Chain A
Amino acid sequence: MKIAKYTFLLLLILSASFGCQRDDICAESVDTTPLLIIRFYDIDEPDELKAPQNLSVRAADDSIPGFVVNTGGQTPVRYYRFSRDSIAIPLRTNADVTSYVLTLNTEENDTTATTTGVRDTINFSYGRQEEYINRACAYKLSYLGLKVDVDGGAAGPNWIQDIQIEEPNVEDQNQAHVSIFF
């Protein structure tokens, strides 16, 4: 009887430890909402990748401050005076249209990329589809039927000569979705 009481006590303590649960953290290796991958090509040699010089990328909406920062890699990359041949940028998850201003040849003292260089606005439009991932990451979005439209103002496109959709359904980040020729 005495032993049984001790066992009861032990069981009580033991089962209390079941209350602790491991944290559910969304792992970086999980595929979540994809970024839109754009690669830049030479208009004269369409097979050749070409890095735009001092490219700055910001949302056309003034309420979104600053330039896009790509946090996907080991060190975050800010798309301000960026000179590589591809970029990965987010699309809005709460609207069917996302507009970006791409400024080529941003000069060093132009911290907002609004006065120097040449600018084109690209409007990306798409349908959105939600998909459940797991309890840690909740839901992701796929962008379906991507369409692009370059708006360079009255003078027409300023530096982008051609834009092509390589993959209209943005479901992962395994390949480029859009090619820009300049």
Chain B
Amino acid sequence: MYRYFSSLILILLISSSAMSQQRAVAQDTTTYKEKYGLRLGVDLGKPLRTLLDDNFSGIQLVGDYRIYDNYYIAAELGTEKITFEGDNIETFTNGSYIKIGGDYNAYENWLDMQNAIFVGLRYGFSTFSQTLDEYRIYTSSDYFGPDIREDNNETTGLTASWAEIMIGIKVEVINNLFLSANVQLKRRIGQNSPTNFDNLAIPGFGRTYDSSEFGAGFGYSISYLVPFFKKARD
């Protein structure tokens, strides 16, 4: 997984250096005004995954607000239903989450463009329930045949929190309408899990791993910028 992140960073470095070269060609003395405002949108990846993946359904709203220069405060709000199907266990997780943090746009636009290559930090918090649908009593001997229990034992009031770093791009496709893509690396900070069990998936965080606190994710979204005011670029 880290391999993907390193290659992603490499691609962004290459592309940003290519962009800055283009910018040098276009330099002139005109000042350009930049829009400040609230950008609101919806994640496209999650409805798509809902259609394609029987074990997932979810929606997510995204938003950011430019506070100063290249700094944005940003948040995501979503709800997800995740089924985990393992060889010996099946669970169903249902809950909502919020992610709050900020983005920094590292891309210097030329002319009056408003594209972004950004790095973001988030604090994520999720509240959910988990149902243990089916599980196996694992034995090394199959003499008495498999012992598979159907339980439908639901635990409510579970919570989890995590820190997240994301890297991505935003492209203005038509006036004030943006397409965005990002990848996320997350680290769980805290969770409460059911007695004698574990959280196999967390809404907003995704599936968990037994041996580590890390998780990964991605997002594509479409959003619309509601401009509040314009300010000349420094």
Chain A residues packing against B (C-beta within 8 Å): 1, 3-8, 10-12, 14-15, 17-18, 21, 24-26, 28, 32-33, 35, 59, 64, 68-72, 89-90, 92-94, 130-141
Contact = CB atoms under 8 A, between A and B. Distances in A.
B8 A139 contact: no
A11 B169 contact: yes
Nearest to A79: B143
B137 A139 contact: yes
B138 A140 contact: yes
B143 A64 contact: yes
Contacts of B135: 138-139
Residue of B136, B137, B181, B216 contacting most chain A CB atoms (<10 Å): B137
Given A4-B115, A90-B144, A93-B137, A18 B169 contact: no
A85 to B, nearest CB: 20
Contact of B19 (A4, A18, A28): A4
B54 interface: no
A141 B181 CA distance: 46
A141 B179 CA distance: 51
B62 to A, nearest CB: 16
Contact of A93 (B15, B144, B169, B197): B144
Contacts of A4: 15, 19, 115, 117, 169, 171
A138 B91 CA distance: 11
B168 A11 contact: yes
Nearest to B115: A4
B147 A93 contact: yes
Secondary structure class of chain A's binding surface, majority of residues: mixed
B4 A33 contact: no
A70 B183 CA distance: 48
A18 B225 CA distance: 29
A137 B171 contact: no
B200 interface: yes
Given A132-B197, A135-B84, A138-B138, 18 more contacts: A1-B113, A4-B169, A7-B12, A8-B181, A14-B4, A18-B4, A18-B216, A26-B88, A64-B144, A71-B141, A90-B144, A92-B144, A94-B147, A130-B137, A133-B138, A135-B86, A138-B89, A139-B136
A152 to B, nearest CB: 23
Contacts of A3: 15, 18-19, 22
Given A135-B84, A138-B135, A21 B12 contact: no
B154 to A, nearest CB: 16
Contacts of A35: 140-141
Residue of A6, A12, A18, A72 contacting most chain B CB atoms (<10 Å): A18
B225 to A, nearest CB: 16
B113 to A, nearest CB: 7
B183 A139 contact: no
Contact of B220 (A12, A92, A130, A138): A12
Contacts of B169: 4, 7-8, 11
B11 A10 contact: yes
